[in-house]
Structure 1
């Protein structure tokens, strides 16, 4: 590995079979979404991928966990509470624990937050409010969140993109709630465990608008049946709007207003700010890790 660029491990949360089903619906992988978000602000990053959902020897050949300056776990179609004993879930929990033991800084979103919480002794359960999908509204920083480097440059209240059933119900010992909203009281958290530090969010700062739209379409029938959208036409209106915004249409301002979303969602530099802040944290920590 190179020594000047940040060495980032991105963990794919889905199985190969799960990703094949997504690909058939035109949806890219969660790991690729995070890689694109990292390269947007840090194109020189040395990114490697791990696939613990599929195999125990998940790391790329010739590398060890402590070779990395940071590790990221994003979304998954798996369920850490309902499928916690499944090998494809347990291997991910074990890898996150090993990263904590190696002292590698961790960033997680959605599934990544939930797996890290469980790995450190907390609990996750289905949200009593059902699924949160599309635009995650009114995420509000706690006092701790407003002062956290994870949210530097973010407004005190903002929207983001999300798709989840489960939520954190009990944080690990010593953890701090950084953000919440009316759907889920833990939308952001930070904690230390073993030798590692974790920053995480329940939403998806890494998602592009088009990726969110394609995911909604992928689960379209469920979205209407579960009452997330009143009908197919309403769902189509939102997904088409998100796709057009991502394409940079001339009427973007009016279209965003029509969809009820602002620059905290439409502006990639604002939407991805948490990722940028974490990368800066890893950059600051790199000299310390090189001495280990």
Structure 2
């Protein structure tokens, strides 16, 4: 199968992330998707780079699935970069190629299909989104198959979907972020998206906390830098030893976060339950 990763991080954010955890968001997605199936062909594009030519509908139709990464972009700001992202997502919808996005990826698809995004009304989610709860539609939807009715997931965001486009289906939410998972159908295309990050390792969660340390302290998540570092260190230790029940207990996490098979459930479901059936309908071997 052939996949396209659309990396929406601007170059400075990519460099900062590589310095922190060794990979940009697109490279994280590429490596995670590659781990899910031997022989996957994966291309990585950076549509936010102004000189990059946006792929046309014909090119997009040649892929079996398309992934949109997280990003520090604010989709409620009208500028050349956000317009490029939205324009490309509309082409993705029109191509009919199944697409999946996390965090800003969900927000891009929402705006492209006519919904809206805003700064998070209840403040940021940092490290983990707690008690994500499936809606009635979400309990029956293949995106969340094998997720329990209530679960936690890695999450790092300061923006959120304000209103889904007409005809979209809300699949999950929690107390902080009402729209945590959704399906969007628009212009012949189907998008599955989540506000959280099934593609992230716990090591990358720890790195994100360290990169955002000043903001997190200012917002009251920790009183002192050393307190925040201690929390990040605990998460990183769990990354290296996911069977450490004592650390998982201290962080209030269970296997939905600590075990990679559970943590990446939405990515697996997207490939197995949307990409593969669509590929068969298109008559591809």
Which bracket does the TM-score occupy, shorter chain normalised? over 0.9
Residue 263 (1) aligns with residue 284 (2): no
Cα distance change on mapping 1:27 and 1:86 into 2, 3 Å? farther
The 5 A counterparts of 1:119-198 are 119-198=112-191
Shift of residue 130, structure 1, vs aligned partner: 1.1
Per the alignment, residue 37 of structure 2 pairs with 42
Residue 69 (1) aligns with residue 64 (2): yes
Partners of 1:49 and 1:59 within 8 A in 2 = no
Distance 1:32 1:24 in 2: 13
Partners of 1:27 and 1:214 within 8 A in 2 = no
Distance 2:212 2:166 in 1: 35
Segments of 4+ in structure 1 off by > 3 A? 24-27
Per the alignment, residue 20 of structure 1 pairs with 15
| Aligned pair partner of 1:247 in 240, 262, 269 | 240
Shift of residue 27, structure 1, vs aligned partner: 4.8
Partners of 1:35 and 1:47 within 8 A in 2 = yes
Per the alignment, residue 3 of structure 1 pairs with none
TM-score w.r.t. length of structure 2: 0.94
Partners of 2:217 and 2:223 within 8 A in 1 = yes
Distance 1:151 1:188 in 2: 9
What's the secondary structure of 1:116's corresponding residue? helix
Partners of 1:69 and 1:289 within 8 A in 2 = no
Per the alignment, residue 96 of structure 1 pairs with 89
- Which deviates more from structure 2 when the two are superposed, residues 129-138 or residues 23-32? 23-32
Distance 2:23 2:212 in 1: 14
What's the secondary structure of 2:245's corresponding residue? helix
Shift of residue 43, structure 1, vs aligned partner: 2.7
| Aligned pair partner of 2:271 in 279, 288, 292 | 279
Shift of residue 53, structure 1, vs aligned partner: 0.2
Shift of residue 260, structure 1, vs aligned partner: 1.1
Distance 1:32 1:260 in 2: 29
- Which deviates more from structure 2 when the two are superposed, residues 68-77 or residues 47-56? 47-56
Partners of 1:51 and 1:59 within 8 A in 2 = no
Shift of residue 131, structure 1, vs aligned partner: 1.0
Shift of residue 26, structure 1, vs aligned partner: 4.0
Distance 2:53 2:28 in 1: 23
Residue 108 (1) aligns with residue 101 (2): yes
Partners of 2:15 and 2:24 within 8 A in 1 = no
- Which deviates more from structure 2 when the two are superposed, residues 35-44 or residues 123-132? 35-44
Shift of residue 152, structure 1, vs aligned partner: 0.7
Shift of residue 37, structure 1, vs aligned partner: 1.9
Distance 1:150 1:235 in 2: 33
Distance 2:239 2:255 in 1: 13
Per the alignment, residue 78 of structure 1 pairs with 73
Alignment RMSD (CA, Å): 1.7
Shift of residue 58, structure 1, vs aligned partner: 4.1
Shift of residue 29, structure 1, vs aligned partner: 0.8
TM-score w.r.t. length of structure 1: 0.92
Number of aligned positions between the proteins: 281
Shift of residue 173, structure 1, vs aligned partner: 0.6
Shift of residue 97, structure 1, vs aligned partner: 0.4
Which runs of 5 or more structure 1 residues have no equivalent in the other structure? 1-5
